Structure 1
Amino acid sequence: MLHLDSGFDLRPARAEDAAKIAWWMAQPHIRQWWHQDWSVERWAQELSEQTAGEHSIPCVAAVDAEDFGYVELYRVRHDRLAEYYPSDENDWGVHVAIGDVTRVGRGLGRRLLRALSDALLGSDPDCRRVVAEPDIDNTQSVRAFAAAGFVGQGELQLPEKTALLMVRTRTVEA
């Protein structure tokens, strides 16, 4: 378990988290953007594959000892995103879904994004940037990233969406 600033905890997702993650991903506010409202079995398989590979690290986020969201941390160099912008060898990427609907719209996302990016930049001296690519029409997500110190760097036309490349660097003031 990794303890982050602002009282957040992050732990690797396990197969036994598949039911919770499947439930979160089926919520309308997530399903609309993630398109991963899969079965529990499919999520268990996805978590197993991610854990076994080197592409991404699936995690469950908690605050006050209550799980509330799903996080994927990934090295951009292992992701197709690297083909869409001049990525750095040590860029980290982040995907966040606040699954607990009672916690949506309360500033939790921006606080988690800031704590995550601070932790990634703080623990990896070679990393200069943490990036994200929310759908350009997902205004809540774009606002949360901006409030966490990410700066829009332009649109990216990905196969499934038009995204806004958002970048957090070490130079952002806390």
Structure 2
Amino acid sequence: MDDAPTSAETITWRPVVEADFPLLSDWLSRPHVHRYWHHDFTPDGVARDFGPGTRGDEAGEDLLVSVDGIPEALVQRSRIEDYAEDFRELSAIVDVPSGAVTIDYFVADSARTGRGLGTAIIRAIIADTWSSYPDCPAVIVPVVAGNTGSWRALEKSGFRRIGEGDMEPENPLDAPLHFVSRIDRPRSSA
């Protein structure tokens, strides 16, 4: 049975708040999440990594994604140029136009992975990106090559692979090779 959201299910999101930190700590400690989101999931680590976003001290967004009101995933969204090191690494591999956005994401429940939920969330976030970031020409996402589920979800969401190259992996277990995918702003019909 496919656990992807049906047309009757609603995907929503909101900014992460401090009260979400225990939930994020739990999610980040899960093996399938920790494998590619190699964060410190202790209470202090979560507060250090996500606290600036809750206070508005971070350029990017941390979004808690829910399906029918039940928290299911985390998405981070930001302009690439707002993070100099990321911009440098990515622009050494592909052209990064001004205003381009990137996302990072995970589905919290391993039983919900590989069933279309991640693809549905990516599609919903990308659709929102075109209105939330009106000057964004494209969304560009680097994914460590070994994270097959992640780059396949991007492909199923309409992204196309535009390059590959070495970037610093989040988890030291990973090789530096990343696949870079892109989706462009749809042309208006006007």
Does the CA contact (< 8 Å) of 1:16 and 1:44 recur in 2?
A: no
Please say if 1:115 is aligned against 2:124: yes
In the other structure, the counterpart of 1:149 is 158
Amino acid at match of 2:106: A
Query: CA offsets, 1:55-98, max 9 Å, x none?
Result: 21111000111001111111101122211222122111101011
- Partner of 2:173 in structure 1? none
Describe the SS at the equivalent of 1:134. Answer: strand
1:30, CA displacement in angstroms?
Answer: 1.3
- For residue 53 of structure 1, give the secondary structure of its aligned residue in structure 2: coil
Contact 1:18–1:41 (Cα < 8 Å) also in 2:
no
Counterpart position of 1:82: 87
Relative CO higher for 1 or 2, CA cutoff 8 Å, sep ≥ 6? Answer: 2
What is the CA-CA distance between 1:37 and the residue it aligns to? 4.2
Q: Which of 60, 69, 75 is residue 71 of structure 1 equivalent to?
A: 75
Q: Which runs of 5+ in 1 are unaligned?
A: none
Relative to its length, the structure with more helix (as a share) is: 1
Cα distance between partner residues in 1 of 2:142 and 2:153: 12
Query: Percent same amino acid among aligned pairs?
Result: 24
**Alignment partner of 1:167 is 2:182:** yes
2:33 pairs with one of 24, 30, 34: 30
- Could you say which residue in structure 1 is the equivalent of 2:134? 125
1:47 corresponds to which of 34, 50, 54:
50
> 5 Å matches for 1:92-111?
92-111=101-120
Distance 2:82 2:186 in 1: 25
SS at match of 1:163: strand
- Separation in structure 2 between the aligned mates of residue 156 and residue 55 of structure 1, nearest angstrom: 26
Q: Indicate the RMSD between aligned Cα atoms, in angstroms.
A: 1.8
How many residue pairs get aligned? The number is 168
Q: How big is the shift at 1:141?
A: 0.6
- Give the Cα separation in 2 of the matches to 1:53 and 1:144: 30
Matched, 1:56 2:60: yes
The correspondence for 1:140, drawn from 146, 149, 156, is 149
Secondary structure of 1:38's match?
A: coil
Aligned to 1:14: 17
Instruction: Please give the alpha-carbon distance, in whole angstroms, between the structure 2 residues aligned to 1:63 and 1:113.
Output: 13
Deviation at 1:132, TM superposition (A): 1.2
Q: Give the greater-gyration-radius structure (CA).
A: 2
Q: CA deviation at 1:41?
A: 2.2
Amino acid at match of 2:60: S
Name the amino acid aligned to 2:141.
A
Which consecutive aligned stretches of 4+ in structure 1 deviate over 4 angstroms post-superposition?
none
